[in-house]
């Protein structure tokens, strides 16, 4: 696998592949890779002739009091894992390369509505940062397909909306969440959990499962959410939000919506964990 921080080198290699009539899949990451990221890479190898990944801890999507400086950087281990999974080209830019004018003078992309709720409400400006960096990376790599994990369900819908609204010529593929044996969704931030917290962290997925089952059995959404919040607090979580929305639009569900998604975010110790579950009623 070839690693570079130079935009022109990425473009030159992709142009060569395209001149040969070959396709490109792209997996953007912030590094500190786990089995979920590697699943994206392996899926990408089945979707295109060549796979490009990026590792960039994007300062634009972190709030003032969030963990930008503490976010784990594990480049050597990440490079080994990407190579073994079939990635051929890795882009590792610095903030100066991505934002040469600085964040305050950077043109940005905003996806209205869908970006303002749930994680967007808890983390103001987060999805502006996500949309801006993803579009910039798409413009650099020019992939045919790009793959994202479904664990970040709202992020996936934000990116799909941006691609549709801006008529970008690529396909966005959502890949199922990879979980630990306990049911805990794999996340780079799981590393913040102590051993005791990690043992309790599976309560988030259990709460989502129970909530969906109660609604499917005829419970009201409000009653099911109240029970789920209680179970999370009993497990030591500090719930941020727990919501049931339309699975396609993230709007509040109407009686006509049969495909729903329950989305949850909660703090356990130093970690803010998110998860979701799509279900039918």
Q: Cβ(266)–Cβ(184) under 8 Å?
A: no
pLDDT tens by residue, 23-82 = 999 999 999 999 999 999 999 999 999 999 999 999 999 998 898 998 999 999 999 999
pLDDT tens by residue, 183-202 = 999 999 999 999 999 999 99
Confidence of residue 248 (pLDDT cuts 50, 70, 90): very high
Q: What is the structure's pLDDT at 105?
A: 97
Quick count: other Cβ atoms within 10 Å of Cβ 88?
Answer: 17
Quick count: other Cβ atoms within 10 Å of Cβ 6?
Answer: 12
Per the annotation, the verdict on 34 as an active-site residue is no
- Which two three-digit tokens encode residue 131? 């949309």
Q: What is the structure's pLDDT at 64?
A: 85
pLDDT tens by residue, 116-136 = 999 999 999 999 999 999 999
CATH class assigned to 188-276: alpha beta
Q: What is the structure's pLDDT at 65?
A: 83
Phi, psi for residue 239 in degrees, rounded to 5: -60, 135
Quick count: other Cβ atoms within 10 Å of Cβ 209?
Answer: 15
Domain limits, the chain: 2-175, 188-276
Quick count: other Cβ atoms within 10 Å of Cβ 35?
Answer: 12
Q: Which residues contact 149 (CB under 8 A, 6 or more apart)?
A: 36, 37, 39, 40, 156, 174, 175, 176, 177, 178
pTM for this one? Answer: 0.95
2-175 placed in CATH 3.40.50.620:
yes
Q: What is the structure's pLDDT at 181?
A: 95
The residue annotated as part of the active site, out of 34, 37, 50, 126, is 37
**Average pLDDT value for the chain:** 96
Q: What is the structure's pLDDT at 207?
A: 97
- Which two three-digit tokens encode residue 76? 């050597």
pLDDT tens by residue, 143-195 = 999 999 999 999 999 999 999 999 999 999 999 999 999 999 999 999 999 99
């Amino acid at each position: 696998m070839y690693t570079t921080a130079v935009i022109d080198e990425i473009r030159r290699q992709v142009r060569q592949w395209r001149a040969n009539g070959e396709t490109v899949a792209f997996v953007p990451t912030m590094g500190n890779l786990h089995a979920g990221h590697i699943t994206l890479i392996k899926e990408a190898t089945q979707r295109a002739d060549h796979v490009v990944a990026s590792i960039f801890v994007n300062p634009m999507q972190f709030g003032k009091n969030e963990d930008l400086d503490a976010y784990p950087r594990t480049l050597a281990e990440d490079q080994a894992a990407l190579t073994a999974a079939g990635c051929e080209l890795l882009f590792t830019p610095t903030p100066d390369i991505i934002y040469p004018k600085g964040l305050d003078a950077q043109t940005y992309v905003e996806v209205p509505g869908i970006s303002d709720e749930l994680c967007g409400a808890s983390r103001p400006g987060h999805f502006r940062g996500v949309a801006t960096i993803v579009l910039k990376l798409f413009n650099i790599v020019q992939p045919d397909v790009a793959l994202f994990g479904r664990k970040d369900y709202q992020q996936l819908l934000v990116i799909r909306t941006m691609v549709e609204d801006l008529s970008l010529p690529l396909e966005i593929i959502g890949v199922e969440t990879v979980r630990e044996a306990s049911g805990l969704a794999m996340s780079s931030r799981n590393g913040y959990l102590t051993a005791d917290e990690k043992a309790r962290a599976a309560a988030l997925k259990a709460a989502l499962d129970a909530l969906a089952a109660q609604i499917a059995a005829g419970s009201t959404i409000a009653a099911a959410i109240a029970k789920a919040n209680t179970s999370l607090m009993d497990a030591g979580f500090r719930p941020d939000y727990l919501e049931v929305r339309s699975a396609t639009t993230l709007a509040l569900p109407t009686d006509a919506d049969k495909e729903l998604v329950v989305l949850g975010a909660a703090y356990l110790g130093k970690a803010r964990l998110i998860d979701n579950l799509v279900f039918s009623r």
